[in-house]
Structure 1
């Protein structure tokens, strides 16, 4: 097992099969970076269409405003053995979370905080020169993708869309075969296929949907009662997937963790739900977490997430092991509210404000203010 293997001696017909089995953009880039033979065996791929076209209608003159889905990917960057002796990382095997905005013309446009969505500033000094961070010296793991509506003169209109998910998002799938599914600000849900002129509402009766997620290759939504439904793209219908949760929180968030589906019930200090933008600037009081037991068809009250960390952002929710991260604690929920980035501890039920991301700026980017992937 300790014998080194010369991968270049693999049969040539295996290389494209291995390359095509990689299902995200960063793995394709790393595969193509191995050698010239690997690079020529599969075509160059781009992140699956950040320019997926959408339509927003002006509320006064009904003019259609061109918009598009802006793609961002959240990565876990961990030092390898080769980089542990350099100044770019500590001896710890833990890593950092970063959010990378991408586009067709600029594979790496800007780096964002994964929760706050703030741009990460590079600590350049007056005498600093351009430096590159070689990602071949780091393990780069794609955790999830997020999409937001962007476009010219659409700032006041894109807020109508609360959250967007996109599937399939493999670099080998043609964007014309993909579907965007969204939740509007007022709790309505809709979808749009590539080339369609407008969003199509799915449920004309229920305007109380809180969150949407792609889980096991399907679209799932939850309403304010915690009832999860699966959207069937073929029949364009919602199929009830879970019993009602009957949680009394003000907002339900969907999170996938270790192959299971969770609902995080968010409680606000204020109970005034008359505003259309309820929850945007509300102060969070506490959370309750429930796991869906798919076999028994019931909800399980979760008191301890153990080493898992739940991260709730405006555009996506995900979980990760705290043992792999610098600056994060297990059994905690990280989120953003009026006080910026906050942490809720499920053990003692305390909420504290956290300061992100000085650890990233100092330890990862101190000698590499510019990154090229």
Structure 2
């Protein structure tokens, strides 16, 4: 949203009009149609009349207390409730690039309690925390666009004992830990104008169990207890859709929590299926492994992926809504699919640094790889684009989490 005047050609009988001179009765309608926090901040910063036309964003502050999907196995776990954490994936682009390339970066940001409430930058594929020097960035030099949100379940554990009465040292002695074997969390509606009590949250955990909860719930409700293993869930056109390991796609009736078959089963024989929305269409990405993927129920120990299955192939299917069927796709065109640990999305490869068209970026055995759909080849990011990691780390060294907190909150 620009603060400048709108330009008109006086020779054509048109006048020059200030943004602030727009009819005041239109401002609330325009403001309430914005569905990202950053757009609301920009709208309210145009002038005093625009600021007063809509209230400040009152969306819930994460993390939110959430029922743990697993029954406590010890008194310690019983005292450690789960928390729903929200992160946002942004498109970040320089307005005045210092080089000939003006491609954007894909960055993931979360208000991380371990950093004292500051917003921290994560890798959108591996979800690893990125650490940058304590420097600042002028947001006016960048164009920032919110692409999507992602959710995770965590709980707080004490990293070590402390007898200090210092508040900072006490906070630092507690760290966030992801709840094991929670493979997907989605929340809807997630608009800044939505009261958290009106939002529904679905969780896939354990051996592919599908659960449901609302804010304030004491426990998680199992949606379908018929020994069906679910792989992924997505919000598509305002409706929850879920896919199981056999390729059955269903939409969920929020009021009754009933699963309604959406289409004939997908004839995909892969071991793990992902739901992706791209350019308004729904896709299924079928991931193939060299051996059967084994799901393990929740335990207290950490898991090692060194002996786990390796990815050997991908197949992509697109929903043909006119004919009501899934069609095998040979090309994604200019798009690249990013299969993150907690969020899948589609981006224009031409717009982002380090991403190539017709490719799938994914994490396997704690390493990030890329699959080229054109020739079915695999590669590490360094092999496909050697400067990808270096260029991002070098350019992003000037970014400190406070620039996002001061401008987006």
Same-fold status (TM-score > 0.5)? yes
Tell me which of 307, 318, 322 is aligned to 2:345. Answer: 318
Q: What CA distance in whole angstroms lies between the structure 2 residues aligned with 1:297 and 1:26?
A: 37
Q: Show the counterpart of 1:92.
A: 101
How far off its partner does 1:79 sit?
2.7
1:301 aligned to 2:344? no
Q: What CA distance in whole angstroms lies between the structure 2 residues aligned with 1:201 and 1:341?
A: 32
CA contact (8 A) 1:50 1:103 kept: no
1:24-67 deviation line (CA, Å, top 9, x unaligned): 11111121222333223222215544233211231356837422
- The TM-score, its normalising length taken from structure 1, stands at 0.88
CA contact (8 A) 1:224 1:252 kept: yes
Tell me which of 357, 360, 371 is aligned to 2:389. Answer: 357
Q: Show the counterpart of 2:250.
A: 229
Instruction: Mark the structure with the bigger radius of gyration.
Output: 2
1:149-193 deviation line (CA, Å, top 9, x unaligned): 112239788214221000100010100111110101211101001
1:57-89 deviation line (CA, Å, top 9, x unaligned): 313568374221110000111233xx34xx4xx
Give the alignment of 1:164-175 within 5 angstroms: 164-175=185-196
1:288-345 deviation line (CA, Å, top 9, x unaligned): 1011112212110001001001000110101011111111001000001125111000
Q: Give the gaps of 5 or more residues in structure 1.
A: 125-129
CA contact (8 A) 2:271 2:293 kept: no
CA contact (8 A) 1:58 1:65 kept: no
CA contact (8 A) 2:155 2:178 kept: no
Distance 1:346 1:191, change over 3 A: same
SS at match of 2:285: strand
SS at match of 2:124: coil
Tell me which of 14, 17, 23 is aligned to 1:11. Answer: 23
Q: What CA distance in whole angstroms lies between the structure 2 residues aligned with 1:285 and 1:324?
A: 28
CA contact (8 A) 2:212 2:223 kept: yes
1:59 aligned to 2:63? no
CA contact (8 A) 1:229 1:238 kept: yes
1:24 aligned to 2:36? yes
CA contact (8 A) 2:154 2:178 kept: no
Q: What CA distance in whole angstroms lies between the structure 2 residues aligned with 1:232 and 1:170?
A: 20
Tell me which of 97, 101, 108 is aligned to 2:110. Answer: 101
Distance 1:303 1:276, change over 3 A: farther
SS at match of 1:173: coil
Q: Give the gaps of 5 or more residues in structure 2.
A: 1-5, 9-15, 158-174, 383-387
The alignment yields a C-alpha RMSD, in angstroms, of 2.7
1:140 aligned to 2:160? no
Give the number of aligned pairs.
360
CA contact (8 A) 1:304 1:347 kept: yes
1:193 aligned to 2:208? no
How far off its partner does 1:103 sit?
6.8
Q: Show the counterpart of 1:131.
A: 136
CA contact (8 A) 1:245 1:299 kept: yes
How far off its partner does 1:279 sit?
11
Q: Show the counterpart of 2:285.
A: 264
More helix by share: 2
Give the alignment of 1:286-297 within 5 angstroms: 286-297=313-324
Q: Show the counterpart of 1:36.
A: 48
Q: What CA distance in whole angstroms lies between the structure 1 residues aligned with 2:118 and 2:245?
A: 37
How far off its partner does 1:234 sit?
1.1
Tell me which of 81, 85, 89 is aligned to 1:70. Answer: 85
- The TM-score, its normalising length taken from structure 2, stands at 0.81
Q: Show the counterpart of 2:132.
A: 122
1:79 aligned to 2:94? yes
Q: Show the counterpart of 2:162.
A: none
Instruction: Single out whichever of 33-42 and 341-350 deviates more from structure 2.
Output: 33-42
Q: What CA distance in whole angstroms lies between the structure 1 residues aligned with 2:240 and 2:191?
A: 16
Distance 1:241 1:369, change over 3 A: same
